[in-house]
A and B are shown apart, each in its own frame.
Chain A
């Protein structure tokens, strides 16, 4: 739901509220990210794949549909759902920073439930800070920056930068098409013996 000229103010407000909800509730963010990844899914898929109880799964899916970030793609039973695109630029409460909420950011926020490094980073730097870190994570995988440049730019320790970059790396590879680089183990001129040999 990229905001274009034909959007009404009502839509903008609705988007903002729903997206704000997504970022506040990691479980909703997780569900949105799952639907964005899968393309389409039923509530039963949701229950199995992200381990939600039936009642919770229905309630979460309905909240996302009501909020307009998820749509029903197949109306007969079993109904199928898909994520709608989010691309919304928001300004932080202090008004001095802007960031764009994208599916990859929502996914990253959803991972705070299961990833301590992401959780701590959001506690310290907010969702806006995580959005910035995500742009560095993409740039790093594209060989444009290093963890040290990020650390210097953001005035954090290089170790803290490396930690959050590593935590966000799976998100980057999920949403961006980036080739593998560097030598693989096979290309090393080391006659690596099989584990079974020295067991």
Chain B
């Protein structure tokens, strides 16, 4: 049984810098459970944008430390990947009453990556760590409609870190 841990931008922002106890709690969790967090390419690009107003999240440090990695590009030719992509875009658009085409594709990349691995059999369970509830719930809903309802879990990034810290407290 292999489990995939897909991570969104918000979890890395919420962790703070490596000196922060939140970052250390997540790293500790990854190491003691042999977990590697996987970032869709678009999420990695978001995290490493050059914005002078912002202290960049330490994603490259986490990669160097070996508990985070960037996923290979999505295989859009795989029908389930594009279905998951479209499905999540529609789901998010619906929540906000805007056209699906307006929804950023990175929101849907989390679910698309999950779909790719589940259908290829390279993962049997997927956890999606995000701070965007619409993206997390959208991924669960759309993948359930593909028959993967029991295999996908949306983990609220804030709650995850709070839980880790309270058990370390």
A140 touches B104 (CB 8 A): no
Contacts of A192 in B (CB 8 A): 29, 32-33, 167
Q: Which bucket holds chain B's interface residue count? A: 35 or more
Interfacial residues of chain B within 142-169, with CB under 8 A of chain A in the complex: 153-156, 158-160, 163-164, 167-168
How far is the CB of A185 from the nearest CB of chain B, in Å? 4
Q: Is the CB of A160 within 8 A of B53?
A: yes
A146 touches B135 (CB 8 A): yes
Where chain B touches its partner, the secondary structure class is: helix
Q: Which of B104, B154, B168 interacts with A146 by CB under 8 Å?
A: B104
B51 contacts A160, C-beta separation under 8 Å: yes
When the two chains form their complex, are residues B54 and A166 in contact, meaning their CB atoms are under 8 A apart?
A: no
Interface set, chain A 74-91, CB cutoff 8 A to B: none
B156 touching A181 by the CB < 8 A rule?
yes
30 sample A-B contacts, Cβ–Cβ < 8 Å, listed by A number: A120-B53, A141-B133, A142-B133, A143-B95, A143-B134, A144-B95, A146-B107, A148-B106, A157-B46, A157-B54, A158-B9, A158-B46, A159-B46, A159-B49, A159-B56, A162-B13, A163-B13, A163-B54, A166-B13, A181-B137, A183-B153, A183-B155, A183-B156, A184-B159, A185-B159, A185-B163, A192-B33, A192-B167, A194-B167, A195-B167
Those 6 A-B pairs whose CB atoms lie nearest each other, nearest first: A182-B156, A185-B163, A148-B104, A146-B132, A143-B133, A143-B134
Which residues does A use to contact B, with CB under 8 Å?
Answer: 120, 124, 139-149, 151-152, 157-160, 162-163, 165-166, 169, 180-195, 198
Give residues in B with beta carbon < 8 Å to A.
Answer: 3, 9-10, 13-14, 28-29, 32-33, 35, 46-47, 49, 51, 53-54, 56-57, 92, 95-96, 98, 102-104, 106-107, 125, 127, 131-137, 153-156, 158-160, 163-164, 167-168
